[in-house]
Each structure stands twice: as structure tokens, then as C-alpha cells.
Structure 1
Amino acid sequence: MTIVDERTVGSTAAAKTGGGSGLGRYILVRFLLIIPTVFILVSLVFFLMRVVGDPITASVGGRLTEAQLAERLHAAGYDRPILVQYLEYLGQVFTGDFGRTITDNRAISEVLTTYGAATVELVFFALVVALVVGIPLGMLAGYLRDRWPDALLRILAILCYATPVFFAGLLLKLIFSVGLGWFPLGGRASTDVQLVLGRIQGSTGINIVDALRTGRWDLISDILMHAALPATALGLLTAGIFLRLVRTNLIGTLGMDYVDAARSRGVGELRLVRKHAYKPALIPIVTVMGMQIALMLGGAILTETTFEWRGLGFQLAQYLATRDFVAVQGIVAFLAVIVAVTNFVVDVIAALIDPRVRY
């Protein structure tokens, strides 16, 4: 007859329950952290924009008489105390109202929906480039540790991360568009392709998705050709980070006890990498994905301007040039919300993959 210790059973059950509650508690805490994160970012943007004065004076003050300027300021509420403006703006943001632009009097929510899809498409392509380039080269560098290919790949990773996005974009345009003529100079698609996509019922605004819905390879090919250079310029920035991260973690994983045990059984190094060290080395990629997407959103401003990719980054640069700080404030606040939500999703995925993240 087997005697089971009640304390053992209780501790086992508690451990199982604790694991589940630990994940739920972790998700709840991470979700609640979105609120103060967005609040701090939106507040910083608001007060930094107010350092230069009220938005109307900064944008069109030189083209209006004093009476007209005073009338515009009063109508927009910019003659009220700054604290009142701040509280009113917070209320608008948390209801999804980011205000209206000064230069063309468009609802900023309309600007976000019109140009946001283009930025999402560019970031997606850039993330694909970063993963396709960074992960295999990182695995190769870790596998060939301290050999000359490893040294070259580490130098490449530093160059990818250190090179400014706009400089990489201009260099790619000079070589592959102007010099070789392989890719278009800019834009999201050719004019005739844009016309075809514009006639699609229920268009998503994401060109590659709409082209795939038509099933026409000529449209898909044209979109991919236009996206190749901007996605590469933006993706190489993150590819350098992924390369170094995968290399470091692969080297660490290859030194673990279970890998040494497999090696002692005669398992080859290449098989060790494929079967034992590959997946653990990729876990940190998921944990830093949120930060890299935020980095890409920042880099998208320069990339879109360089390649005339008409997304939120391109529009943000235009509004900065005209000093339309209401539009700038609204777009930056929206991007802050996107970054916060993305980080939350990535944290949840990381917790599901690696239970150690929860504690």
C-alpha cells in the first residue's frame, strides 16, 4: 500500500494553480501598465509641443492679422489655461479623438486611417527582412564562433545598426535604382497599379493584401519591387540587432549541460545546432520584438521620406515642415499607443513561450 503525503499533493496542486494564476497575473499587470505608459507618453508629447507656443501661432501666425489670430485661438481654446487644455486633450485622446490639423483642417483620425496602412505595410516588410537576414546570419556566426566568418558577420551587424536609415536608403537608391535600374526610385506602386487597387471594393489600404486578393501576379510583383529598397533600408537596422542577439544566445545554449551530454554521445555540431540549440536561441528574439517594432516606427519617418512612401512617417515630416503641431501631436500620440499595445502583445507571447518570463 502506497502512502501519499498530503503536503506533497497540496504543494503539487498549488504549484499547478500557481502556474496558471502566475500567467494570468502577469497578463493583467502588463495590460494595466499600458494605461500609465500611454498617459506618460501623451503628456510628454503635449507639453513638448507647447514649449514652442500655441500650435496656431506656430503654424499660420505670420499669415494672419492680430484680430484673426485672436479669433482662431479663442475658437480652438488655446487662450485658456494650459492645464485646462491638457485635461481636455487627455479626454479627447482616451475617446479616440486626436483633434484636427491646422493646415488643411482634416480630422487626425482620418489621417491615421488613410496613411496608417502604408506604414503598417512598410514595417511588416522591414520585419520580414530583419528576420530573414538576422536570424540565419546569427546562427551562422554562433556556429562558426571566433572564426573569420564570425568576425565579418559581427562587423556587418555593427554597420547595419550604426548606419543611419536615411543614408542606407539613399545608398540603396543610388546603387540599385539610379545605377543599375533594377528597382523603382520611390512610391508604393506604379500609377496604373494604384488605379487598379483603388477600384477594389472593400480595399484595406495595404497594397500587398489587396493585390493578393486579386490574384494578379503583375500587381504583386510591382508592389514587391517598390517595397524592396525601403524595406531593406529599414529592416537592416533591426537585422544587425537580431544577428548579434541570436549569435550570443546560440553560443550560450551550446555551452549548456544537455548540449554537452548530446555532444558526448557523438552528436555532430551541426545537428546540435539544428535540434538542440536553435529554438532556445530564438526566444530572446520574441522578447525584444516590441522594442524593435518601436524602433522601426521611428525609422519609418526617415525611410518614408527618402522613398516617398506615403505613410504616417511621410505625413509627419510634412506636418513638421509646416509647423502643424496639432497634427504632429496626434500622430505621435497614436504611435505611442501602438507601441504600448505591441509591447503588451509581445510580452504575452514571450510569457507563453518561456514560463520564466512570468516571474
Structure 2
Amino acid sequence: MTATVTGPEATAAPGPERIRTKRRSGGGLGRYILIRALLIIPTIFILVSLVFFLMRSTGDPISAALGGKLTPDQLAERIHQAGFDRPLIVQYFEYLGQIFTGNFGTTLSDNQPVAQVLLHYGAATLELAFYALIVAFAVGIPFGLIAAYFRDKGQDASLRIFAILCYATPVFFAGLLLKLVFSIWLGWLPVAGRASTSSELEMELLPNKTGIYLIDSFQTGDPAVVWDVLAHAVLPAIALGLLTAGVFLRLVRTNVIGTLSTDYVDSARSRGVSEYRLVRKHAYRPALIPIITVIGLQIALLLGGAVLTETTFEWKGLGFQLAHYLQARDFVAVQGMVALLAVVVALTNFIVDIIAAIIDPRVRY
């Protein structure tokens, strides 16, 4: 015969299952962050290694950049001075050591430290990516909600076609169309550049310029400069932002439709809650979680698209300079810039994963 314990004694000592549950819930986030942080190291190592060996598969950088400009003796001397005649594995480990100290080498075409080039032009690419993300959110999320609200109707079909066109249209082609319509035909917006010459000169005089024109324009205190900077950013931001907006639109639509079929939404619907309120109140926030988880991947897409966007609009950022160094066959500069972009993408994915784990605890397990 088993005695049944009642009263305070029954609840004083939690069972083993409750203890394990508490331990899991308490240490889940910390363990998840630690694992994700440790995974960054091999990820960056693999990316940097791939970039190095792919670049060197074409030969040494000196011959690629200056092969037709120097005599064979001069070329051999330059190769020896740069150390590119040593075994590849020796060059590889030396390159890794340089990267850990922040030394990405020196460009061959204009003899500048690659790290300095990255700092100088990186602000422009960061600014463009920020504008593009704003466009992606402003277009993708509302249109995704509308498509889910009018599921399987004409509005839904039209928006799905729009999303496919956004993702499938080459960035440079979208940029050329935007320039043709809004710059040449209508004359509303500038054709190219980050700002007019007069605005750039005014921002150059700032004692604490950041290289991000939007911040620098506000520092001048001149509304005309602020408007000039924003006007130059509209077309590049739309051309690059629509690429990601198509992805966001499809994600929001799919997840809102999935949320609308859950039990708690059916319960709210049975109480007479309108479909519009269900979408806006019950299905909107859960649909944003998948978007947060893919932002890291979209950053990589934006950085890849920035090369074509910056070239099309002469937006002098990393993408513009990368195209310039590719044409000059300056593989030292290309190698450093691609390695940095790989590191940025890896770190961005780490940050996004942590944000997603904080918002949705299910991600941690």
C-alpha cells in the first residue's frame, strides 16, 4: 500500500523532470550563443581559405596585374620581392597571419593598403545596404500582408508575380530602367553619384566626417545638402532593395497564411474577430520571425548586388572599387575585399541568429 502525500510537502520537492526542464530553459540561450560563436571561427577560416586558393589558382598576382607592363627580369624581381615565388603553403600561412593582425596587403594598381581602401569605401556600401533594407521592409512586409489577406485572389496573384519579377530582374537592368525613367525622361532624380560636387565639398570640411553621407549631411546643418544626399540615394536603394523585397514578400505571405490556419486563430475567428484584425493582430508578429532569420542571408545578397548597383550608379563603395580592381586584375585588392565581405556576412549571420533566438526561444533547441 502506497501512502499519498498531500499538503505543502507534496509541492516542496520538485521532481527530476521539473529540474531538468528548469535547467534546459535557463541555460538554453547561453549555450546557443556559445555554440554559434564557436562556429564563426571555422566558417571564417574556410571562407578566407577558399578566397586565397581560388585567387592563386590563376597564378601569382604580380604576373596577373603587371605581366604585360614589365620586362621578364623586372617581373621576376617584383615577384621575388613580394614573396610570390615561395611555396604556396608558405604564402597561405603568412596570409592568415597577416589577416589576424588586420593586414590585408597592398594594392598593386594604386599602391594603397587594402585595409585603408576597405575603411574608406566600406562606409558607402554600408549606407547603401541600409537604404536597401529600408526599401525591402517597406515594400515586402506590407505587400506580403496584403497578399495573405487576399489569398488566391487577383491581388494575391499580382503581388506574387511582382515578387518573382523583383527577385529575377538583374539589379543592373532595374537600375538602368530607373535611371531612364526618373532621371532622363522625368528629370526628378540625379543620374549617378552619392551627392553633388558642392555637397561633397561642404561635407569634406567637417572635422568629424564619418564617410556615411547621411550622417555627414546632418552635421553640416544645411537642409539642401541633406536633401541632395537623399535624392542621390533613392534610385540605388530602390534598385537594390527590390531584390530583397521579393523574398520578404513571399516569406510574409507564406507565414501569415500558415499562422491563420492555427488553432488559436480559428478560436478567435469563431468569436467573430474580423479577418483584417486577425492578420494585423494575430498573424503579423509570428510572420516576422522567419524574416529575421533570413536577414543574414539577405545581407550577403545585398553585398553581392551592391557590386552591380554601385557600378550602375557610380556609387563609390566597395562594390564600385571591387569592379575597378577586377578590371585592373589587382588580385591582392580583390582577395582582401572578398575576404572582408565574407567575414562581414559570417558576423551578420551570427548576430541575426542571436536576435532570432531571443525573440523565438524555439530556435535555441
Alignment partners' CA distance in 2, 1:139 and 1:117: 33
Matched residues, number: 359
CA offset at residue 9 of structure 1?
5.2
User: Which residue in the other structure is 1:265 paired with?
Assistant: 271
Tell me which of 314, 320, 324 is aligned to 1:314: 320
Q: Hey, what does 1:343 align to over in structure 2?
A: 349
Could you tell me how far 1:10 is from its partner in structure 2? Answer: 5.0
Q: Secondary structure of the residue that 1:8 maps to in structure 2?
A: coil
SS in 2 for 1:102: coil
State which drifts further: 156-165 or 86-95: 86-95
Q: One-letter code of the match for 2:204?
A: G
The one-letter amino acid paired with 1:169 is G
Aligned partner of residue 14 in structure 2, secondary structure: helix
Structure 2 match to 1:284: 290
Determine whether 1:109 maps to 2:144: no
Aligned ranges for residues 203-218 of structure 1 at < 5 Å? 203-218=209-224
Pairwise CA distance, 1:213: 2.9
TM-score, normalised relative to structure 2: 0.96
Deviation at 1:7, TM superposition (A): 6.0
* 8 Å CA contact retained: 2:193, 2:315: yes
From 160, 179, 184, the equivalent of 2:185 is: 179
Residue type at the aligned position of 2:214: I
Match of 2:101 in 1: 95
Q: 1:162 aligns with which of 152, 158, 168?
A: 168
1:119 is matched with which residue?
125
Q: CA shift at 1:4, angstroms?
A: 2.6
Query: In 1, Cα distance between the equivalents of 2:344 and 2:218?
Result: 26
Q: Which amino acid aligns with 1:282?
A: L
Which residue of 2 is the match for residue 50 of structure 1? 56
Which of 302, 305, 308 aligns to 2:311? It is 305
Alpha-carbon contact 2:37-2:350 (below 8 Å) kept? yes
Q: Which of 75, 81, 84 is matched with 2:87 structurally?
A: 81
Aligned-partner SS, 1:189 = coil
Q: Distance in 2 between matches of 1:206 and 1:16?
A: 46
TM-score where L is the length of structure 1: 0.98
Contact 2:196 2:228 in 1 (8 A): yes
CA deviation profile, 1:283-310 (whole Å, cap 9, x unmatched): 1010000000110000000000000000
User: 1:134 is matched with which residue?
Assistant: 140
Please say which of residues 87-96 and 244-253 is displaced more in the overlay: 87-96
Alpha-carbon RMSD across the aligned residues, in angstroms, is: 1.1
| Aligned-pair CA distance for 1:67 | 1.3
Who is 1:29 aligned against? 35
For the Cα contact (< 8 Å) 2:202–2:220, is it kept in 1? no
| Structure 1: gaps spanning 5 or more residues | none
3-state secondary structure, aligned to 2:8: coil
> How far, CA to CA, are the matches of 1:190 and 1:237 in structure 2?
27
Q: Hey, what does 1:295 align to over in structure 2?
A: 301
Equivalent runs, 1:192-211 vs 2, <5 Å: 192-211=198-217
Task: Indicate the percent of aligned positions where both proteins have the same amino acid.
Answer: 66
Cα distance per residue 1:265-289 (max 9 Å; x no partner): 1111111111111100111010000
For 1:88 and 1:285, locate their aligned partners in 2 and report how far apart those are by CA, in whole Å: 40
The gaps in structure 2 that reach 5 residues or longer are: 1-6
Residue aligning to 2:3: none
Task: State whether residues 129 and 302 of structure 2, in contact with CA within 8 Å, keep that contact through their aligned partners in structure 1.
Answer: yes
